[in-house]
Structure 1
Amino acid sequence: MKPLSFFNKGVFFVNSLFATALLLAYLLPYIPPSTFPFLSILSLGMPILLILNITFLIYWIVKLRKQFLLSFLILLLGFNHILSLYKFGVEQYTKKPSDVKLLSYNVRQFNRYNWIEADTVTKQIIQFVGDQKPDILCFQEYDHREDVSFSSFKNQYRVLLDREERFGQAILTNYPIINKGAIGFENSNNNAIYTDLLIAKDTVRVINIHLESLKINPSVSEFHEKNRQRLVGRMSTSFKKQEVQVQKILENLNNCPYKSVICGDMNNSAFSYVYRKLAQNHVDAFKEKGESFGKTFVFDFIPLRIDAILVDESMEVKAFDSHPEIRYSDHYPISCVFSLTSDN
């Protein structure tokens, strides 16, 4: 076989760099962000690293070169990560009366500050919720205003955080709420709230989370050199805060005698330490019944899935949908249908 050309030697060198970065990123879910907060940023870039290594793999196969083995072996080693990145479509499922449908949505305060140039965002979100008919509705960045009304839900639990008690998290449902509470985060405008719901003869704890924001502005200017250093610093600080916040959520779960569902805005990817900790003893609804990249955040460069619904492993996920056509916030809503017991 002929030796590599000068150009292909350069390609393989770049391939080696991205393969090494991907291998390092595989380790991040097992390393607390407080240890290497800067490296934790790689977890957000995992989709790009996977796609690049797949591209290099195809390139070398087309060239009939043994260099394909580098990316092939790295991708094989992290095959489960590929399953977290992309899912092929599944058959449509018709919800049964005994099933539970949960909808989670970071509504960005219902466009209070006119991030979207439209006067009808609140009405459109209310209409969307009405069309979806969820049994449980979880909002992050819920804004309590006169024009925000979801009166079809008999039981509503809201915890509003800022000084004017204007916005926070909310859980709305028609199931009886037998217990409720908030999980406060120190030095943060975010929190988690929970309700214990009586569903048929079962009690289920629903935890609605909003972890520390990474404060990413999804615009090209944010990544110009003069802003990049500040952005990395902010994100590193946020990753460390998220680690502490997740520990408080896990403490709540450890003291909970019921099955649980965790949903909301993780502000982190499915390749991160905080996701791995939250997903313990739970099933990721996207990985079970999702489709495509499951993108949940409006971001041009990377298909970020930073919102999730994690269902107790004793339950069964029947359907999952992300709704990228719903552009009323910087997040897309996600919904899941599950049954309280597995058919397996």
Structure 2
Amino acid sequence: MSGTFKSIRRRVWLILNTLVVLWMLLGVLCLQVPPSEFWPAGFVAFSLPGALVLNFLFLFYWVLRRSWLLVLPLSAFILAWNYYARLVTINFEKEIPDGAKTLQVMSFNTHVFNAYDKIVEGVPQVSTDMIDWVAEHPADVFCLQEFYSRVNSLEYNNFNRIGTRYGKYKFASTSVGDRIKADLGIVIFSKYPIVESGTLRFSNTRDRSANRAAWADIDVKGDTVRVYAVHLQSMSIKSEDIENTYSAIGDETSFKKESRNLARRLRGGFVSRAAQVQELLGHVQASPYPVIVCGDFNDIPFSYTYSELAEVLDNAHVRAGNGVGATYNGPLPFLRIDNQFYSAGLEAYNFETHYEMGLSDHFPISATYVLQPKDAEQR
């Protein structure tokens, strides 16, 4: 009787493990499907981390059982290794070669420096601590999304406080917004000269939309690197939307309403970003120089957006970071939606997520890039 029970239990666990592996395969396939053509693929891909974790737990279970059935989750683990690396990365520290030409890049969605979190008598209260942290960071290039500056204010003139005061070059892709005529948008600051620059406006956004890409060709001691600061379509999900969904659990009518609202917003984001990433890649692949593409992509590593970028570019966190690398400072933990990608001709070192700066709804990220000599780049 005991042997029969063990046999049934093993068969049940094997069936469940098989279903998880099939889930993994389906999730990987859905990463290749543009949500603009079949939007449910975006949700299946979004669920892939759950399948990866469950497969790992099955592997651990069969190892403890000393069963040959560990071959199934182990094979899936090996075949899906690149996707596990997107989930959690492990890298050993690399020494930057002596005499190497380097470029440190910091990317940060500043959340307009919290200008609209508190309004007293119509005057925005900006987080000066955040501004000072950015201004004093040792990076060579700063890619700032949701940038905010008030030209008519000495205290909140961030073009001056972050750029001019420190002798930085800048390219601003901003619009004038709000009643006090503040500049809002994307700004690239650089310690090295900017020789050319421009804005890529996505065809599915309005001209004044914050969702765009700014680029700058930067002269790094005689070599040119093109740096992109990107802000793709937001998920448009607020913390109260998530809290309302949690609180609605137990109330079937309310839960359906809130969950449908979340699903609708996610679907809209999947579809919009799928189109935007194709326009971005078209511009990136036409660059005559090595590129660094960084910013707020508003998509996790298990998305069509990320996969399309990872197909042609390396990811700095995967190559030089450690851990989960979560960048969203909000009610949903473990989300890495800010990234730095880079092309041949560069190598990433010392990737870091700056959890010490927690004043925005995003954490800043930085990496140091070594520019490879031209002859090495051509080999």
Q: Which residue of 1 aligns with 2:233?
A: 212
**Equivalent residue of 1:279, what SS?**
helix
Q: Per-residue CA shift, 1:247-266, capped at 9, x if unaligned?
A: 22122223321221100011
Q: Which residue of 2 aligns with 1:42?
A: 44
For residue 79 of structure 1, report the CA deviation from its aligned partner. Answer: 0.9
Q: Which residue of 2 aligns with 1:236?
A: 267
Question: Quick one: structure 1 residues 113 and 255, their matched pair in 2 at CA, closer, same or farther if it must change by over 3 Å?
Answer: same
The aligned amino acid for 2:52 is L
Question: Quick one: structure 1 residues 173 and 57, their matched pair in 2 at CA, closer, same or farther if it must change by over 3 Å?
Answer: same
Q: Kindly indicate which of the two structures has a greater share of residues assigned to helix.
A: 2
Alignment equivalent of 1:77, drawn from 74, 79, 82: 79
Question: Quick one: structure 1 residues 122 and 43, their matched pair in 2 at CA, closer, same or farther if it must change by over 3 Å?
Answer: farther
Question: Separation in 2 of the partners of 1:120 and 1:163?
Answer: 16
Alignment equivalent of 2:363, drawn from 325, 332, 335: 332
Q: Residues 348 and 367 of structure 2 are in contact (CA less than 8 Å); yes or no, is this contact kept in structure 1? A: yes
For residue 143 of structure 1, report the CA deviation from its aligned partner. Answer: 1.5
**Equivalent residue of 2:166, what SS?**
coil
Q: Per-residue CA shift, 1:145-182, capped at 9, x if unaligned?
A: 34232132421222224654642111111211111111
The aligned amino acid for 1:68 is L
For residue 9 of structure 1, report the CA deviation from its aligned partner. Answer: 5.9
Q: When the two structures are aligned, how many residues end up with a matched partner?
A: 341
For residue 20 of structure 1, report the CA deviation from its aligned partner. Answer: 2.5
**Equivalent residue of 1:330, what SS?**
coil
The aligned amino acid for 1:114 is D
Whether 2:88 is the aligned partner of 1:86: answer yes
Q: Which residue of 1 aligns with 2:33?
A: 31
The aligned amino acid for 2:143 is C
Q: Which residue of 2 aligns with 1:254?
A: 285
Q: Which residue of 1 aligns with 2:104?
A: 101
Alignment equivalent of 1:182, drawn from 195, 199, 203: 199
Question: Separation in 2 of the partners of 1:264 and 1:159?
Answer: 14
Q: Which residue of 2 aligns with 1:293?
A: 324
Q: Residues 96 and 370 of structure 2 are in contact (CA less than 8 Å); yes or no, is this contact kept in structure 1? A: no
For residue 141 of structure 1, report the CA deviation from its aligned partner. Answer: 1.0
Q: Which residue of 2 aligns with 1:110?
A: 113
The aligned amino acid for 2:104 is K
For residue 121 of structure 1, report the CA deviation from its aligned partner. Answer: 6.8
Range with greater deviation from structure 2 (210-219 or 220-229): 220-229
**Equivalent residue of 2:334, what SS?**
coil
Unmatched segments (≥5 aa) in structure 1: none
Q: Which residue of 2 aligns with 1:284?
A: 315
Range with greater deviation from structure 2 (133-142 or 310-319): 310-319
**Equivalent residue of 1:30, what SS?**
coil
Q: Residues 115 and 125 of structure 2 are in contact (CA less than 8 Å); yes or no, is this contact kept in structure 1? A: no
Whether 2:159 is the aligned partner of 1:154: answer no
> Could you state the TM-score of these two structures normalised by the residue count of structure 2?
0.80
Question: Separation in 2 of the partners of 1:44 and 1:121?
Answer: 35
Q: Which residue of 1 aligns with 2:121?
A: none
Whether 2:281 is the aligned partner of 1:271: answer no
Q: What percentage of aligned pairs have identical amino acids?
A: 28
Question: Quick one: structure 1 residues 104 and 29, their matched pair in 2 at CA, closer, same or farther if it must change by over 3 Å?
Answer: same
Q: Which residue of 1 aligns with 2:244?
A: 221
The aligned amino acid for 1:273 is Y
Question: Separation in 2 of the partners of 1:259 and 1:152?
Answer: 26
Question: Separation in 2 of the partners of 1:182 and 1:272?
Answer: 25
The aligned amino acid for 1:125 is M
> Could you state the TM-score of these two structures normalised by the residue count of structure 1?
0.88
Q: Per-residue CA shift, 1:171-195, capped at 9, x if unaligned?
A: 1112111111111123353111111
Range with greater deviation from structure 2 (151-160 or 64-73): 64-73
**Equivalent residue of 2:226, what SS?**
strand
Q: Residues 286 and 309 of structure 1 are in contact (CA less than 8 Å); yes or no, is this contact kept in structure 2? A: yes
Question: Quick one: structure 1 residues 9 and 337, their matched pair in 2 at CA, closer, same or farther if it must change by over 3 Å?
Answer: same
The aligned amino acid for 2:77 is L
Question: Quick one: structure 1 residues 254 and 76, their matched pair in 2 at CA, closer, same or farther if it must change by over 3 Å?
Answer: closer
Q: Which residue of 1 aligns with 2:144?
A: 139
**CA RMSD, aligned part only?**
2.8
For residues 286-325 of structure 1, what are the structure 2 equivalents within 5 Å? 286-299=317-330, 302-325=333-356
**Which of 1 and 2 has greater Rg?**
2
Unmatched segments (≥5 aa) in structure 2: 119-123, 249-254
Question: Separation in 1 of the partners of 2:372 and 2:102?
Answer: 10
Question: Quick one: structure 1 residues 325 and 54, their matched pair in 2 at CA, closer, same or farther if it must change by over 3 Å?
Answer: farther
Question: Separation in 1 of the partners of 2:86 and 2:230?
Answer: 20
Range with greater deviation from structure 2 (294-303 or 319-328): 294-303
Question: Separation in 2 of the partners of 1:302 and 1:21?
Answer: 23
Q: Which residue of 1 aligns with 2:24?
A: 22
Question: Separation in 2 of the partners of 1:290 and 1:153?
Answer: 30
